[in-house]
Amino acid sequence: MSTIDEIISGFYPISLDQMDEVKLMDRIDQKYVFHSSGLPEIIGSMKQDYFVFEINDTRNCGYENQYLDTPDRRMYTLHQNGKLNRHKIRYRKYCESNIEFFEIKFKSNKGRTLKNRIKLKENAPAMERMKEQLLSQFSPYTLSMLCPALDVSFKRITLVNKNLTDRLTLDTDLKFRIREQEYKTPGLVIAEIKQGRSKKSSFTMVMHAHHINPFPVSKYCLGVSLLEPDVKKNNYKMKVLGIQKIIKK
């Protein structure tokens, strides 16, 4: 058992059904990145304030995302150019439960993230119609406009504060893949605090105490920037350099 597993084994668990009370599909979020060597101390300092999500006796869970985009990477370009009112479209698989969703994330010009999704089932014709309906309702895209753009896998620890008002995710072992190209990020942690409204939390105070500042980053844009040499990445060069510096610590 690793040090991280030992630490999170001491948290009180929260189940998937209980997590429904804090879905936060309309939220404000803030990301931080840091080296995993600091993770045990950071997690250990939050034991009194947070539950840990547990499913099938697992607390450090596997996730697999496949992002979709247009062939000319319109969604990537809009994000890289700093445009708001933008979308991310992806398939997400929760490895422990083998549940998969088709999701649309929308970042508004008010700084809020709205997520809409449908659970995928085996009835393929019906699911195609449902995906098209979701796209029509919450995006300017259709399935025929989209193609696979990036695969991302990672491990995630999810903490929920005991007031059930915010959710914290801690992602490690990130692997990005486009076709046969793969980029691994050993030692990197991407943390994200998700809240219905912006306020101080135990986690943000811990970040402040460790002199770790917010670091807005998109996994999709990061992966594309790392693996595609020909895309525009002016606004991601410094982020990529910062993350590579963390990995090399």
Alpha-carbon torsion 79, 35, 176, 5, what sign? negative
Does the pLDDT at position 1 exceed 50?
no
Stretch 231-248: mean pLDDT, rounded?
89
Q: Is 3-247 in CATH node 3.40.630.10?
A: no
Mean per-residue pLDDT over the chain, rounded: 91
Predicted confidence band at 21 (pLDDT cuts at 50, 70, 90)?
low
Hey, what amino acid is at 62? G
User: Is the full-model pTM beyond 0.85?
Assistant: yes
| Confidence at residue 23, expressed as pLDDT on a 0 to 100 scale | 66
Pairwise CA distance, residues 113 & 134, whole Å: 17
The alpha carbon dihedral of 196, 81, 187, 61 has a sign of positive
Percent of the chain with pLDDT over 70: 96
| Separation CA 94–CA 232 (nearest Å) | 31
Q: Check residue 72 and report its DSSP letter.
A: T
Residues 92-145: tens digit of each pLDDT: 999 999 999 999 999 998 888 899 999 998 777 789 999 999 999 999 999 999
What pLDDT score was predicted for residue 110? Answer: 84
Enter the tokens of residue 225: 């920037």
